[in-house]
Amino acid sequence: MMDMSVASPAWCPHPLHSQRPPKSRTHSLASPVPSARSESSGLRLQKSGSVGFISGLPDIMRTSEVRRKRGLRKTADMCSVLACFDPDGVLSEGREELMRGLSARMRTRGPDGSGYHGNERFGLAHERLAIMDPEGGKQPIVYKSDGYSVCANGEIYNFRELQDKYDLTAPKTGSDSEVLLQLYRYKGAEFVKELNGIFGFVCVSGDGADMIAARDHCGIKPLYIGYGEGGSTWFASELKAICDQCKSIEEFPAGHYWTPKTGFVKYYEPEWDSDEFVSDQVGDQFTCSIYHLFALVMS
């Protein structure tokens, strides 16, 4: 029976994290209003639209204004990912030290801890904002049994539905990101089509020969891809993390995934996402609206 326990990658809290002063009640207005960050929040947004979010906008705007007047920066509300695919091992020597340094450039995105995992073919680094399973959800998440690993930024709203649908092995963490690892091992790259969420992530096989990077349907979460020394391919949440490691960098296209074998694959292709998708009825209504508008202007 395979060992499905999760390895503890070289992960550590940021030095200053434990030294943060306790929040003062007199500064409660400076604290950001909690936003939808959990599985339940995601489901609520799916079922009820954004009514809850919109109703909270006055408080959010008031908080932002208070913070602006006090000269306070917006608190980080995201994580960051950094990955290097190096099939020939050109950058294997000193990779961990290099990638930890590059990842630290994005530390404002994830103030709660840093992690690294890799071998001679790849490296994954992560800056974490601890939300889902603060203690057990440290990233990269690594399975000891076969070495598969993942680091992700974002939220997978339907992660429990997918775990139930495919009767996946009981997760070892409470993180919604773990389902990416489970599905990649179970279905391969095509699992991305079933995700409901906002994300930018990288999953890697145990030996580092196979990898998938993907960005959410509409590009809500940032992700960049760059091409560096010795045929290496880099992925990062921010340009500044890889700007001096790559000969060329481009924005990772929304609604696509990438693997070493296939390159970019567009997985999100809704019928309406086409210039030709305009029904006659919609076209007639649009034409009538233009005529009415023209008549009002001329009257």
Number of other CB atoms surrounding residue 175 within 10 Å? 25
Taking CA 198 as the corner, what is the angle to CA 192 and CA 200, rounded to the nearest 5 degrees? 70
Q: Are 1 and 169 in contact (CB under 8 A)?
A: no
What string of H, E and C letters represents the secondary structure of 198-248? EEEEEEECCCCCCEEEEECCCCCCCCEEEEEHHHCEEEECCHHHCCCCEEE
* HEC assignment per residue over 183-200: HHHHHHHHHHHHCCEEEE
For residue 199, the cross-strand partners are 154
DSSP-derived secondary structure letter, 281: H
> Two tokens at 136?
């057990």
Classify the phi-psi angles of 163: left when phi > 0, otherwise alpha if psi is within -120 to 50, otherwise beta: alpha
Please report the sign of the dihedral spanned by the C-alpha atoms of residue 183, residue 184, residue 185, residue 187: positive
CA gap 233, 223 in Å, rounded:
13
Q: Which of the residues are catalytic?
A: 79
